[in-house]
Structure 1
Amino acid sequence: MEPFVLQEADNGTGWMKLSPFMNGSAAVTAGFTTRRGGVSGEPYQGLNCGLHVDDAPEAVVENRRRLAQALGIPFEAGTYAEQVHGKEIQMVTSALRGAGIRDRDSALQAKDGFMTNEPGVYLYALFADCVPLYFYDPIRRAVGLAHAGWKGTALGIARSMVEAMSAAYGTKARDLRAAIGPSIGACCYEVDDTVVSRIDKALGTTGGAAQEEGQPPFYEAKLGGKYTLNLQAVNRQIMIKAGIMPSHIEISSLCTSCRTDLFFSHRKERGRTGRMAAWIGLRE
């Protein structure tokens, strides 16, 4: 069953609830936006949440405001970053509430993973094909969110998040609930030998075959030295190797490149497009 369930707010904002996290606890809010709603014009038409794509800043801020309203959380409590396709994890406290919400200069710099154990601190990350990774520790009440393109995936940002939450909050990997959100699928994501070699190194395998029966391959060879890469499957395997139980990992079946009616896609739209926001937080 698809874990990300489409919702529409009274203000027209289209968003997706991460049901396994939110249905189990009223204390957690987590999900992913669509391109539906919002005030941005072409080519960012809809609910563009990215300030770095040459959209009008006032339109982006209004979109973020409408999203917060739709989610029933304070606009000023959101935290955004300048993402760099790395693996650095930032602990976010109440002192950082509002960072990057209105402008890029005040955003958390050079970070792709965020975690908090403070209620009322809401973590946001931006996507347009890369993989959103969600982490929830219901025992120690802490959450994490990571942005995983192929570079961050190869660097092991999922493992870095597990290690960071363990060090900061005493999180045990076996207790974590994780989710892998909508992103470009293997159906649409073609890469070269350079990328595949980095993925092999990250997994400690070669050939791309899944290590579990019934799971999709990590990648498959095509003609001309190209491969189709399943970033979701790779991140799931990294999570498992970090100690998260396979039964505790939810995976979306939605491809951002296939569904440009619903999502922005950097690859499908050749770079001229907006950004979705993933979010997670502990409600006050």
Structure 2
Amino acid sequence: MSRIDAKFAELKAAGKSAFVSYIMAGDPNMDASLEVMKGLPDAGVDIIELGVPFTDPMADGATIQLAGQRALAAQMTLKKTLAMAAEFRKGDDTTPIVLMGYYNPIYYHGVDQFVTDAKAAGIDGLIVVDLPPEEDDELCLPANAAGLNFIRLATPTTDDKRLPKVLQNTSGFIYYVAINGITGSGSANAQTVGAEVARIKQSTDIPVCIGFGIKTPQDAQEMAAVADGAVVGSAIVEKLGAGEPAADVLAFVRTLADGVHAA
């Protein structure tokens, strides 16, 4: 059982949904982002989604694009992101870490070497948004073989014909994109999203977490009530981008976590 599987089992036994929080590794620099990362579990975060900065983040809106630019300007790399995760693991061996990013840096690093290094750094799962199921041989299958969960995105346009392909080789959880568009745009509607999550859950036992368009504790509570978890990224990254102290960012994260866990 992976750390992700164990976390969902623990939360299910407690009657709670999971709170997944996103931060960009290296934003605004490695030390500052590591400080925030270390504080996330105590702020109520169940699973950490750690972004890998990339020059062409096609699925991300302006807030996370700018975070990536800040991280790249601070010389953040995939290798340093793994080092950051390894440093976090020295003090926390239970909180799951999911790397979120794009295939190019992984391909450049070398797939076999990346899988080995990610596992050694304490990574539990991967979200690679530009690798569809048709490309599972590239990374998904090697990652699964090494014990890394490969988390796939489902969207409002994932119909019943496409869904089985999306579920293929997926593990850990399914990331349901609540709105059409990029991160940080629009607001999710719990009634509409709830129906879509229920449809997906008819075809799988894998937990479904909702992301995109969740900005407030109330949003988080509403989304968590119709799914197995809620993911918040841009609203947190925005505060980091504004230069707010780590303590203030983590206090905001706590309000989101309380919302999710109250669902």
- Between structures 1 and 2, the one with greater helix share: 2
Which structure has greater strand proportion?
Answer: 1
What's the TM-score, normalizing by structure 2? 0.36
